[in-house]
A = this chain, B = another copy of it.
Amino acid sequence: MAEQPDAQQPLTERVVIVTGGAGFVGSHLVDRLVERGDRVVVVDNVVTGTWDNLAHLGDRIERVEADVSQGLALDTLGDRTPDTVYGVCHLASPASPPAYLALPVETLMVGSEGTRHALEVARQRGARFLLASTSEIYGDPEVHPQPETYLGNVNAIGPRGCYDEAKRFAEAMTMAYARTHGVSVRIARLFNTYGPRLRAEDGRVVSNLLTQAMENRPMSIYGDGTQTRSFGYVDDTVDGLLRLLDSDVQMPVNLGTPTEFSILELVEAVRQVTGTTAEVVHLELPTDDPTQRQPDIGRAKELLGWKPEVTLIDGLHRYADWLSAQTA
């Protein structure tokens, strides 16, 4: 049967397990893995993700609807999972503040038990492990821009602590598996990311403002809008994730856009892209909202040859197109 290689089937097919693969960033990663010929097993409990994000892939992927916090037994990963696995990518987690603030215990659990279960699969199958960590582990940083060596300024007992500490813990657990069990690990620290499949109602600043502008509703800004963020287009983020997965870089790597915009500047870009005449309304700044966040991406440039390519205006256009298509 294998004598005549199927032209559709690469000879060196690799298997990659993606937890949270039905989510925003996860589904783009799955797309790219499938595109390059990998076999992908997606594990998701679709609490904040949706299988709709992967509908276009049909039966080209394996879908497992399961909560990785409750366990990730190899024998439940579906019949397409072979003995050897190339990579386990752990992206499962609520990631927008409204989502994790509504699910604090679950968010902590997917960072702790979820990460451990994913690491266990990597250990058992000799796979490399990729953790999707976050710039939130830097908290409200006192160093700008933030290099990977910055230890952070996180309020563990604040409302956002459930997300930030879950990810810090996930990094510590990842390193414990590397040190104790020799698992080959990669840690990506993702800064703000936006693009298609970031749900209109997700609650992150780009989706909020763009959706409001497209509907000509007042654009809501938390605080005075002078706080800055870097906004990374999802294609760039996923490109970085793939480079990291395939690399031998076993230290944390920031993936983000070093160009810093204030929220007020983002509003101007949104106005330019949408042509909206909507006004701005100022809402109360949430507790522990970081005032500034900007990645130092020297490590990603040097070790992965990676840098973001998509400009904010270009990315907003592409995202706006997707949002329009959703409501059309």
Known: A112-B113, A113-B112. A104 touches B156 (CB 8 A): no
A88, B128: Cα distance in complex, Å = 40
Known: A151-B139, A156-B137. A171 touches B161 (CB 8 A): yes
Encode contact with B along A154-194: 1 for CB under 8 Å, 0 otherwise.
11111101101110110111111101100000010000000
A146 to chain B, nearest CB (A): 14
Q: Which of B137, B159, B166, B172 contacts A108 (CB 8 A)?
A: B172
A151, B155: Cα distance in complex, Å = 6
Whether A109 is near chain B, meaning CB under 8 Å from some CB there, is: yes
A244 to chain B, nearest CB (A): 15
Known: A112-B108, A151-B139, A169-B169. A175 touches B187 (CB 8 A): no
A156 touches B139 (CB 8 A): no
A173 touches B116 (CB 8 A): no
Known: A168-B169, A171-B157, A252-B157. A176 touches B112 (CB 8 A): no
A176, B100: Cα distance in complex, Å = 11
B169 touches A104 (CB 8 A): no
A179 to chain B, nearest CB (A): 7
Q: Which residues A23-78 have CB closer than 8 A to chain B?
A: none
B156 touches A176 (CB 8 A): no
Q: Which residues of B contact A113 (CB under 8 A)?
A: 112-113
Binding site for B on A (CB under 8 A): 104-105, 108-109, 111-113, 116, 137, 139, 151-159, 161-162, 164-166, 168-169, 171-177, 179-180, 187, 251-252
8 closest Cβ contacts across the A-B interface?
A112-B112, A165-B172, A104-B176, A161-B172, A169-B169, A156-B168, A156-B171, A157-B175
Q: What would be 8 A-B contacts, judged by CB atoms less than 8 Å apart?
A: A104-B176, A108-B172, A112-B113, A139-B151, A152-B156, A157-B252, A164-B172, A165-B169
